Amino acid sequence: MATKTKLHPRNQHSEGYDFERLVAQTPELEAFTILNPSGQATIDFQNSDAVRMLNRALLKTHYDIDFWDIPAGYLCPPIPGRVDYVHYLADLLADSNNQEIPRGRHVKVLDIGTGASLVYPLTGQSEYGWHFTGVDIDAGAIKSAKQICEFNKLAITVRRQHKRENIFRGAIQPKDRFHLTMCNPPFHGSTEKANKGTQRKWANLGKGRSTKLNFGGQNAELWCPGGEIKFIARMVEQSVEFSNQCLWFTSLVSKKDNLRPLHRILKRARVTEYRVVDMAQGQKTSRFIAWTYKTKKQRSLFAKRD
């Protein structure tokens, strides 16, 4: 078992992958299992089929997801890092609830760009019983997400966003109330930049030139005009309209250098409070920003209402 350091204390994967247990639950994983130089079981993370099979085993073993698959070419996210975001969001809610994590379906979460994998709703509903609404602009991702829900008999709401320029508009309906919104925004500003990022990744791995991504990704998942900073700026702008319907708005921020301009953008939006929450997965450091338009008293009342 390779140890995963610095994951959230409640993360089920902090001690690494128990391949014996995973293979027992998902025998198909055995065909992709290899030994690393230290003699520990692992997979070839440059093999997209192996990564997808590992995710299937992890979701079945740890999150009671009997069926999971995604179409070829769609983003296949690493589970430990993704579920870390969910656990830190639970801590954020606990701050408004006398340090007790609110659990159950009365807690509503909006996942912007839920993807074909539906990874945040699947892990979040399993860990905390929250009700998720997943939104995506890609028709193929929506079809895949709905199939996962149907096969596993999960009451997760899946909605299609039809306008690329909209984030919360069209996703949040008049009667909706959300304790949290979450998002893993597109990282790159163009197809060319996305391809260059892929080349750098493979060069760092010593694999030369390749356009293949082991974790996949469609255009809407990898890039948007202006990249991450423009996407989050638009998110902040639209969040003002829904300040009464949401307790905390949040988004992952891949580039640390984007925090300073985002701070200015949030200040102009006159948010009541703004936080940066650091997360670490092994050698990688990530973070998300969270902002709210509600006072501490209003947050406490919102958190307690069913």
Which pLDDT band, with edges at 50, 70 and 90, does 31 fall under?
Answer: very high
Structure tokens at 123: 């892990």
How far is C-alpha 151 from the chain's CA centre?
A: 21
CA distance 189 to 264: 21
pTM of the model: 0.87
DSSP percent split of the chain into helix, strand, coil, nearest 5 = 40, 20, 40
* Helix ranges restricted to H, the chain: 19-25, 48-63, 79-94, 119-128, 139-152, 191-204, 219-222, 227-239, 259-268, 296-304
* Percent share of the chain, pLDDT over 70: 84
Residues in contact with 292: Cβ distance below 8 Å, sequence separation at least 6, in sequence order: 247, 248, 249, 271, 272, 273, 299
Per-residue pLDDT tens digits for 174-191: 999 999 999 999 864 444
pLDDT tens digit string along 196-251? 444 444 344 455 544 445 445 445 544 456 789 999 999 999 999 999 999 999 99
Contact 139, 116 (CB under 8 A): no
Distance CA 293, CA 272 (A): 5
Give the pLDDT of residue 203: 47
192 pLDDT tier (thresholds 50, 70, 90): low
